[in-house]
Structure 1
Amino acid sequence: MEKRFDVWLTTGDQSNKLSQKASIVANSEPTNGFSVNVNNATRYQTMDGFGAAITNAAAYNIYNSPQRSQIINDLFGQNGIGISYIRITMGGSDFQAVAPYTYNDMPSGQEDFALNSFSIANDRNFIIPILKDALVANPTLKIMATPWSAPAWMKTTGSLNSGSLREECMSVYADYFLKFVQAYAGEGITINAITVQNEPLHTSSAYPTQHMWWQQQSTFVRDHLGPRLSATSTKIIIYDHNWDNTAFTTGILNDQATKAFVDGSAWHCYSNPPQDHYKKPGDIRNQFPNKNIYFTECTGGDWSQDFGSNLEWNTKYLFIGQPRVWAKTVLLWNMALDQNHGPKVGVGGCSDCRGVITVSGTSYQREVEYYAIGHFSKFVPTGSVRIDSSNFGWDDVHTVAFEAPDGAIIVIVLNPSS
């Protein structure tokens, strides 16, 4: 019996955008000199999902759009692209519809080691409602949470911006993480994983950031956060910064006591040239084969507006490139920004970033990133296993293949010359 593949196509000239085409027969003769061989006997990592981040700004844009229901279905529903994994910010970041906050803000000069003032009330304004909408559209959606900063009173600067965690606040900060996971569970939202710190090697005076050397992160996980979260199902993921630096992750995972609490490491794309760095997360997986790899952030923006070039870049380096070096997730940055690349209340940072969709007044636009994600999230369900597929030259066809839990075979092919 012949095996047929359904075909969905997006082209750089935008004449096709996730367009369904005539099916093809497996094992048919190649038409342009390439034959993609797939072997499901050679199996790699199990996939958790594909998606982007619900920042404060992204949630606000979706929540306040008159197209809210359509946007949710378009992003998360079966008739949309079925996004299966999202990352949320634990408090403020550089994309804010309101002034940055944490879950335990105190008046200047005051501390709260008992966390009596802990509250996720600010998240209930529009973040939690959007997460609940998304979970209705896709009940298997997984959620990762990441802090940009500890509460100001826990930091060396006394500010959400810049600075680092005070040594004497490590224990209470671990309690803070646990209370966050428990508070979200009380809302019916499971936090599948947390990363310890967004971009721990970067600080800014313009928006919430927090420096955390690998030595401090290792101590924090080993002596505080790991023991606190051990009774939960929430995974601990380290690093969460650029793919050019493997020393941070190696330093932590070489501590056997810390390593026992760590599920894996997370990676961003912000170092150039990408061809020199994008495979480095795989080096960590090869060195520590029992620790998972997660790709968690990359953004497009006005600096690159050509649809075809962006489609190729995202697919080559991220959505094909990262699973081929063991990533269980591929996540982009903001899920939804407005026509002014925001909102950005009280924060600096990227002023021309692009969301997966752009919400403008009563309408919204699907950006190139929507289609890049969609070729994966729509067809590769959570629990799929990456399997072996042909690997051609750098300037030739790129492929990645998966076997879904129901046995279906999914092959994604990038043809840069088409």
Structure 2
Amino acid sequence: MALALTAPTAAAFTSPAAFSPAAVPAAFSPDAAPAVARVWVTTPDGALRLADRGTVAFGRAGADVPTVVVDPGRRFQTIEGFGASITDSSAAVLYRLTPAARDAVMVSLFRDDKLSYLRQPIGASDFTDEPAYTYDDVPAGQTDYALRHFSIAHDRAQILPLLRRARELNPYLKIMATPWSPPAWMKTNGSLVGGRLIDSPRVYQAYAAYLVKFVRAYRAEGVAVDALTIQNEPQNRTPSGYPGMDLPSWQAAEVIERLGPMLRAAGLSTKILGYDHNWSEHPNDAANTPADSVADIDHYPQELLATPAARWISGTAYHCYYGDPSAMTALHDEFPRKDIYFTECSGSRSSDPAHTFSDTLKWHARNLIIGSTRNWAKTVINWNLALDETNGPHTGGCGTCTGVVTVASDGTVTRNAEYYTLGHVARFLRPGAVRVAGTSFGTTGWNGQIQDVAFANPDGSTVLVAHNQNDNPQTFGVRFGDRSFTYTLPGGALATFVWSGRSGDRPLDPAGWTATGSGTDAALAVDDDAATRFTTGTPQRPGQYLQVDLGRVQPVGRIVFDTGASVGDTPRGWAISVSADGRRWAEVATGSGGQFASATLSRGQFRHVRLTLTAADPAAWWSVADVRAYRRAHR
């Protein structure tokens, strides 16, 4: 169900001030322990839409519910932005509105919802209300290697004015650009639909020059292009009636080897991103792979980054239409110095349109807002910014895609679920925000648990975005340093929590840790993923243990064994011991029950830590989802 705004005026799009992080109480101090967190919630039934639900108080008492732990002392990727694409179709439907109504929509999107990243087609895509085009079209049989006919005049009517207005409304806005096809005269089939680049140095040079000319032309129009990819979905070899092209990794490398030096010579800082396709290759695409590019099957980003062209490539771009976000982490682990961007996913009309808002909210929360950012994405970009009530106009391609907003023929404008999922991060993350460590029990594959991701803003505030994957309400806890709060999240809901203050914790990176134990999958306790777990697989009895090797002898101030969401599997009695050499052990803490079994150490150094059960429970197994170690505090 979508929210219909029946008066397409500026007043109809004025958002409450409470949607802004500025509404966080001024008493917050980044130098003190947090006192309260402010909460905004969206529910699948649409009853709550980024609704300010007030504050929840931190306390010192531990929670008796599954509790996620936020550790801002471990930092990952810097976030660059969240947004969509002003396609030809988006521009066309926005220009069907009166100037005042159109500007009200832009204000709602870029000032109020704070969308901060746009991915712009270079020429036509599948979402256009006119014949396909590029910026250098010439009659069939002719060529234009000198690019004398190059012109972006087409974009001056609608697209460029909208881009300039978006940047006025959000000065932090970034823009990347992607072609669906080069000019037809550069291609083997002489068409914008299908085919491949002609395998010729002259063509590679011309295509690189075409892209540089685009960036320079946009800059002259007041629109800076922060990043480029050189082909949308390069393994989609048979687009259904819209521009597209097969671009194997070896041809992409040929273009990039020319494009990189050209951008530098032109004094342009525009980044080059590779791939720009799905998390995993669709089987239909794999089945149609030509003999000269079989190495690209489910390995395209790796193949491209293994070429000399990699020195010009800043990162890799991904889409959502096949596979799982974990593919981005797999690539990051192989090429940790190359960034990851998530650059396209469309919402989709459900088979029962009444469920579209709910279905989109849940899927995008799980896979994009949380799933992608937890897997190293610096951006989350939806597809069309705006479409009409028939999910168009479009040429071939998707007939069920939805936009961030829908603009009906009568001027009614509807904020769709994408507006709110993006808003749950875009409104609260400031430029320079960084993803930080946080345990999460939910998975992108859906396991019914609380799924979350945490960020630190430059001003010292912390942002936690949490999604209840279950259809029923769930109560969970959030721990930050030695303070925590509990909150009950409605079924399927998405929430953003914002607080300010320091935790004081200095967590260690678990990379390289190993584990053994009295059960199965001991390694899952040290995989930095609280959604997986080590378990005894049998009822608890004294002597069962989990032992962790931290890789080297080092000073550790605190060690924590975290049961995670399986609160029934907490150890009934336990003892923690430490050792420098794995032979001589010293017991440092004992206890019983609770999600967290922990020990605090004021002196000494060690490499090994072991938790041993000291009590039996014939009715319960024992699990550990996460082991964490913290540096000793300076005195």
> What TM-score, normalized to structure 2?
0.63
Asked if 1:315 is matched to 2:365, the reply is yes
SS at match of 2:67: coil
Aligned to 1:251: 303
C-alpha deviation, 1:308, in angstroms: 2.3
Asked if 1:186 is matched to 2:220, the reply is yes
Asked if 1:278 is matched to 2:325, the reply is yes
Aligned to 1:176: 210
In 2, distance between residues paired with 1:269 and 1:404? 27
Match of 2:422 among 373, 385, 395: 373
Asked if 1:294 is matched to 2:341, the reply is yes
In 1, distance between residues paired with 2:176 and 2:382? 13
Instruction: Give deviations 1:133-164, integer Å, cap 9, x for gaps.
Output: 10111011000100000001111111111111
Of 356-365 and 297-306, more deviation after overlay is shown by: 297-306
In 1, distance between residues paired with 2:62 and 2:43? 20
Asked if 1:336 is matched to 2:386, the reply is yes
In 1, distance between residues paired with 2:367 and 2:411? 34
Residues 18-417 of structure 1 aligned to structure 2 (within 5 Å):
18-27=50-59, 33-66=65-98, 67-77=101-111, 80-168=112-200, 169-203=203-237, 204=239, 206-222=241-257, 224-230=258-264, 231-245=267-281, 246-255=298-307, 257-271=308-322, 274=323, 277-303=324-350, 305=353, 306=355, 307-344=357-394, 347-360=395-408, 361-394=410-443, 395=447, 396-417=449-470
SS at match of 2:124: coil
Is contact 2:178–2:232 with CA below 8 Å preserved after alignment?
A: yes
What letter corresponds to residue 374 of structure 1 in structure 2? G
SS at match of 1:36: strand
Computing the radius of gyration from Cα coordinates, the structure with the larger value is 2
SS at match of 2:127: coil
Instruction: Give deviations 1:269-312, integer Å, cap 9, x for gaps.
Output: 111xx5xx221111001110000000111112223542223211
In 2, distance between residues paired with 1:316 and 1:348? 29
SS at match of 2:37: strand
In 2, distance between residues paired with 1:198 and 1:367? 25
SS at match of 1:37: strand
In 2, distance between residues paired with 1:218 and 1:113? 20
In 2, distance between residues paired with 1:260 and 1:247? 19
C-alpha deviation, 1:32, in angstroms: 7.7
- Paired-residue identity, %: 41
> Cα distance 1:32–1:373, how it changes in 2: closer, same or farther (>3 A)?
farther
In 2, distance between residues paired with 1:206 and 1:132? 31
Instruction: Give deviations 1:176-199, integer Å, cap 9, x for gaps.
Output: 011000000001111000111100
C-alpha deviation, 1:76, in angstroms: 0.3
> What TM-score, normalized to structure 1?
0.94
What letter corresponds to residue 318 of structure 2 in structure 1? W
What letter corresponds to residue 237 of structure 1 in structure 2? L
SS at match of 2:68: coil
> Cα distance 1:45–1:351, how it changes in 2: closer, same or farther (>3 A)?
same
In 2, distance between residues paired with 1:131 and 1:288? 33
Instruction: Give deviations 1:50-87, integer Å, cap 9, x for gaps.
Output: 1111111111212332221110011000xx21001010
Greater share of strand residues, 1 or 2?
2
User: What are the ranges of 5 or more consecutive residues in structure 1 without an aligned counterpart?
Assistant: none
SS at match of 1:263: strand
In 2, distance between residues paired with 1:140 and 1:21? 28
C-alpha deviation, 1:415, in angstroms: 1.2
> Cα distance 1:336–1:232, how it changes in 2: closer, same or farther (>3 A)?
same
C-alpha deviation, 1:26, in angstroms: 3.1
In 2, distance between residues paired with 1:56 and 1:138? 21
Is contact 2:350–2:359 with CA below 8 Å preserved after alignment?
A: no
Of 32-41 and 380-389, more deviation after overlay is shown by: 32-41
Is contact 1:310–1:368 with CA below 8 Å preserved after alignment?
A: yes
What letter corresponds to residue 341 of structure 2 in structure 1? Y
In 1, distance between residues paired with 2:107 and 2:340? 29
Is contact 2:240–2:397 with CA below 8 Å preserved after alignment?
A: no
C-alpha deviation, 1:393, in angstroms: 4.3
In 1, distance between residues paired with 2:169 and 2:92? 18
In 2, distance between residues paired with 1:388 and 1:286? 17
What letter corresponds to residue 314 of structure 2 in structure 1? D
SS at match of 2:342: strand
RMSD of equivalent CA atoms: 1.5
C-alpha deviation, 1:12, in angstroms: 1.3
SS at match of 2:421: helix
Is contact 1:84–1:381 with CA below 8 Å preserved after alignment?
A: no
In 2, distance between residues paired with 1:320 and 1:27? 26
> Cα distance 1:28–1:380, how it changes in 2: closer, same or farther (>3 A)?
farther
> Cα distance 1:19–1:30, how it changes in 2: closer, same or farther (>3 A)?
farther
In 1, distance between residues paired with 2:341 and 2:358? 26
Greater RCO (Cα-Cα under 8 Å, separation 6 or more): 1
What letter corresponds to residue 252 of structure 1 in structure 2? L
What is the number of residues matched between the two proteins? Answer: 408
In 2, distance between residues paired with 1:113 and 1:81? 43
In 1, distance between residues paired with 2:84 and 2:313? 23
In 1, distance between residues paired with 2:276 and 2:64? 40
In 2, distance between residues paired with 1:205 and 1:12? 33
SS at match of 1:227: helix
SS at match of 2:39: strand
